[in-house]
Homo-oligomer: A and B are copies of this chain.
């Protein structure tokens, strides 16, 4: 028997525990989950309140054990997968100790217990930021609106009916509800949620896509311009039921904001009726509006509207509009190639596959749209039209691009922008597969994101690249003013052997250059070039006008005085055809 059977056989043991009525807020749960992962022998851990949705998601994951289904919504479910049963038991036994670790807040600081006392304490606060678990979030948002506050609603899992009611009530009061599921906003230079430290400037953003807003704002910054305001709307704002209430408010607000000279509007796919309403509002702003609706066949620029096919292009067009004579849209943002460009591009072998492991949903979507014509069939857990839906998100097939921030991956864990754990495991798993030729990652910096993602990802990238010959390509989004230090992150990832781009479009263009051409179709004989080199000659069967036309053009032609065989009799025709062979 080998020395380490579990590793050799790739066997692990999963143990779980239900703690009845043990409510803890999500940040505590996330910290607990992260702490469990650091314990010896632990491969994976899940920590989740047992709501029906969470159980469904857990059921679909690789951490599920059927007995956990007995938990009630107010129960806490803990799952640990480890090398040995001993390690799993040990890990679960340390849960109480791990949960008592102090939080980030200074213990002495006074905190009011209610929103009401908070508004008395800071009456000039116009905003309430809500990031409690989804089922509590709507109540707090209602209370905030009652106090006349604008709401930044980070929480997800808020029912759409609540969103509709909250937003229509807010709209009648001139208040914004950014969210639910709003990851990013920048108001008066202050980033809310996940946001990058970008220069202030004259480009205003309205977006239903968190990483989309981050991609555009960092790109605008890199191109030398800046952001006036970035209004997040929540991922569902442009759906039919919600009707783009916040997007319309955001456009109206930016149209009146003197600091905003160009507007960028971004969304994942939009239903046509909603698109029409939003674009009408965009026309009304009277300012140039660059529109980037993912998956939307562009209708052509018109009036003050400009259509972009990606977030990089949207940023570039906005900056160009700001200053026609200024920064070029095509300016390269720098690339860290593994041995310098001189080495030339190694080409992927014919049968090797691409695997995209994205933290940003919009980036996963854009990558699919950009690579779809080159990589077909392309699989995804969040397929764009033309991609194939992945039956099991835990197992890639052929070319696969994943949004690891989707619900099926984030139940009981921090979002991959904060916690690289799941991504690191998936990266190893993909890297071990001999058919995988290129792994594509995004790393999004900024407030709220992991404090040093390259420190976690770098060593793993170096390790997997040492074991096998393939490529890791990273899109690194952020600014040199972000807490993580863009260029330090870039250097670290580069040193680990990754090809690093500071712009998604450039990374995707690089990937496209690396893809092999498909084998030529068989049994095809090239058309002789000779037909293009000599005067045309034609025999015409049918419309006489075609014959006349060819003659008029000086070409030679013969017209056949054609009559239908067998006088048009179908049976006789079939017989004749049969006789002929």
Partner pick for A547 among B105, B139, B505, CB 8 A cutoff: B105
| A124 contact set on B, CB distance < 8 A | 534, 537, 556
B27, A568: Cβ atoms closer than 8 Å: no
B74, A126: Cβ atoms closer than 8 Å: no
- With A373-B275, A526-B252, A558-B112 as contacts: A538 and B192 at CB distance below 8 Å: yes
A509, B302: Cβ atoms closer than 8 Å: yes
Q: Which of A5-13, A130-138, A206-214, A219-227 contacts B (4 or more CB under 8 A)?
A: A130-138
CB nearest to A525 among chain B residues: B174
Interface centre among A283, A309, A535, A542 (most CB of B within 10 A): A542
A105, B284: Cβ atoms closer than 8 Å: no
| Cα–Cα distance between A503 and B119 once the two chains are bound (Å) | 60
**A97 contacts B by Cβ under 8 Å:** no
**A241 contacts B by Cβ under 8 Å:** no
How many residues from A make CB contacts under 8 Å with B?
Answer: 155
A113, B561: Cβ atoms closer than 8 Å: yes
A122, B557: Cβ atoms closer than 8 Å: yes
| A448 contact set on B, CB distance < 8 A | 545-546, 549
| Cα–Cα distance between A544 and B66 once the two chains are bound (Å) | 34
In residues 514-540 of chain A, which contact B (Cβ within 8 Å)? 517-518, 520-521, 523-529, 531-540
**A248 contacts B by Cβ under 8 Å:** yes
Partner pick for A527 among B176, B386, B517, B563, CB 8 A cutoff: B176
A299, B373: Cβ atoms closer than 8 Å: yes
**A564 contacts B by Cβ under 8 Å:** yes
In residues 159-178 of chain A, which contact B (Cβ within 8 Å)? 168, 171-176
Query: Can you list 10 pairs linking A and B with CB atoms under 8 Å apart?
Result: A23-B564, A25-B542, A125-B556, A126-B531, A126-B536, A139-B577, A253-B532, A275-B373, A303-B509, A303-B512
Per-residue CB contact flags for chain A residues 167-205 toward chain B (1 = under 8 Å, else 0) read: 010011111100000000001111111000000000000
| Cα–Cα distance between A117 and B178 once the two chains are bound (Å) | 77
**A341 contacts B by Cβ under 8 Å:** no
A154, B299: Cβ atoms closer than 8 Å: no
Partner pick for A129 among B189, B529, B542, CB 8 A cutoff: B542
Q: Which of A36-44, A54-62, A80-88, A364-372 contacts B (4 or more CB under 8 A)?
A: A364-372
B190, A550: Cβ atoms closer than 8 Å: yes
| Cα–Cα distance between A374 and B130 once the two chains are bound (Å) | 36
**A155 contacts B by Cβ under 8 Å:** yes
Question: Closest CB-CB distance, A293 to chain B, in whole Å?
Answer: 9
A539, B174: Cβ atoms closer than 8 Å: no
**A325 contacts B by Cβ under 8 Å:** no
One complex includes copies of this chain to the number of 2
In residues 123-159 of chain A, which contact B (Cβ within 8 Å)? 124-133, 135-136, 139-140, 144, 149-150, 152, 154-155
A529, B256: Cβ atoms closer than 8 Å: yes
B23, A536: Cβ atoms closer than 8 Å: no
Apart from A172-B523, A448-B549, what 20 extra A-B contacts exist at CB < 8 Å? A104-B544, A109-B559, A112-B560, A121-B558, A132-B564, A140-B562, A154-B542, A171-B524, A171-B525, A175-B527, A229-B532, A248-B521, A257-B529, A257-B532, A273-B376, A279-B374, A283-B517, A297-B298, A299-B309, A303-B512
Per-residue CB contact flags for chain A residues 275-299 toward chain B (1 = under 8 Å, else 0) read: 1110110011000000000111111
**A103 contacts B by Cβ under 8 Å:** yes
CB nearest to A528 among chain B residues: B174
**A1 contacts B by Cβ under 8 Å:** no
Partner pick for A280 among B280, B307, B517, CB 8 A cutoff: B517
**A259 contacts B by Cβ under 8 Å:** yes
| A538 contact set on B, CB distance < 8 A | 125-129, 152, 190, 192
| Cα–Cα distance between A371 and B544 once the two chains are bound (Å) | 39
A505, B539: Cβ atoms closer than 8 Å: no
| Cα–Cα distance between A296 and B384 once the two chains are bound (Å) | 12
- With A376-B276, A558-B122 as contacts: A536 and B104 at CB distance below 8 Å: no
| Cα–Cα distance between A534 and B542 once the two chains are bound (Å) | 77
**A333 contacts B by Cβ under 8 Å:** no
**A548 contacts B by Cβ under 8 Å:** yes
**A570 contacts B by Cβ under 8 Å:** yes
**A377 contacts B by Cβ under 8 Å:** yes
**A488 contacts B by Cβ under 8 Å:** no
| A248 contact set on B, CB distance < 8 A | 521, 524
- With A188-B534, A276-B376, A560-B118 as contacts: A567 and B131 at CB distance below 8 Å: no
**A459 contacts B by Cβ under 8 Å:** no
**A541 contacts B by Cβ under 8 Å:** yes
**A94 contacts B by Cβ under 8 Å:** no
- With A257-B529, A546-B131 as contacts: A556 and B122 at CB distance below 8 Å: yes
| Cα–Cα distance between A447 and B545 once the two chains are bound (Å) | 9
A310, B300: Cβ atoms closer than 8 Å: yes
Question: Closest CB-CB distance, A152 to chain B, in whole Å?
Answer: 8
| Cα–Cα distance between A23 and B525 once the two chains are bound (Å) | 39
**A21 contacts B by Cβ under 8 Å:** yes
| Cα–Cα distance between A577 and B140 once the two chains are bound (Å) | 12
| A577 contact set on B, CB distance < 8 A | 139
